[in-house]
A and B are shown apart, each in its own frame.
Chain A
Amino acid sequence: KQEVTQIPAALSVPEGENLVLNCSFTDSAIYNLQWFRQDPGKGLTSLLLIQSSQREQTSGRLNASLDKSSGRSTLYIAASQPGDSATYLCAVRSGSNYQLIWGAGTKLIIKP
């Protein structure tokens, strides 16, 4: 059974730092992995989608990597800003029914 873990559950860093958020999954047979952002009291916004054949995807200051063999993905945020404060969730699509399996998220706080 696929399980997705995000550690740490919360992270606080000063503005301007580069940082890495982690996502691990137990079954390497995945179709793709997605990173989402959730602002307080809001829904989720898709940030990046990495297909299983890809190693990384980039969007602006965000870079997501995927290492299927080790069951890990990282979301790198460059030059963090207070506006990056949010909860970041990763989700893996796997299984015969293409189910999305979610991590519990990492709550990120960027201090001005």
Chain B
Amino acid sequence: ETGVTQTPRHLVMGMTNKKSLKCEQHLGHNAMYWYKQSAKKPLELMFVYNFKEQTENNSVPSRFSPECPNSSHLFLHLHTLQPEDSALYLCASSQDYGGSSGANVLTFGAGSRLTVL
């Protein structure tokens, strides 16, 4: 496979469940990102990992817990979510992080559509 792969594509969970989203990139990129996309709103950056170290956490509630075991894999662990957390969760990667060159252009996965009941 090439590019950025996200699984599962769709997830329905209750407020008391624990689930995880997975992202894998086959591009040799060093930085990986989690974004939240809600209807008719701009993308919200959640977390950034650069060389598997967390470099940004944009005041995300603790019910979202990221994990980056290596530069190719990124997880988002979910527990005790709220209905307002229902959204499309997008993973992205870039060659580099923290600059303005073309190496910082993001490649996105297809997203995981999450519904919290």
Contacts and interface: CB of A to CB of B under 8 A. Distances in A.
Interface of A: 4, 9, 31-32, 34, 41-46, 49, 51-52, 89, 91, 93, 97-105
Given A49-B102, A100-B106, 8 more contacts: A9-B40, A43-B6, A43-B90, A44-B106, A46-B105, A46-B106, A49-B105, A91-B43
The size class of the interface chain B forms with chain A is 20 to 34
Interface stretch (B13-21, B67-75, B107-115): B107-115
| 6 residue pairs, one from A and one from B, having the closest CB atoms | A31-B100, A43-B108, A102-B42, A44-B108, A102-B43, A43-B110
A105 B45 CA distance: 16
A104 B41 contact: yes
A41 B108 contact: no
Interface of B: 4, 6, 40-43, 45, 90, 92, 98-100, 102, 104-111, 113
A2 B26 CA distance: 33
A105 B105 CA distance: 18
Q: Which of B6, B42, B92 lies at the interface centre, i.e. has the most chain A CB atoms within 10 A of its CB?
A: B42
Contacts of B98: 97-98
A46 B99 CA distance: 17
Contacts of B113: 41
Contact of A44 (B40, B90, B102): B90
Contacts of B42: 4, 101-105
A15 B100 CA distance: 36
A99 B98 CA distance: 8
Contacts of B90: 43-44
Contacts of B43: 89, 91, 102
A101 B107 CA distance: 16
A107 B51 CA distance: 35
A41 B105 contact: no
B40 A41 contact: no
B107 A46 contact: yes
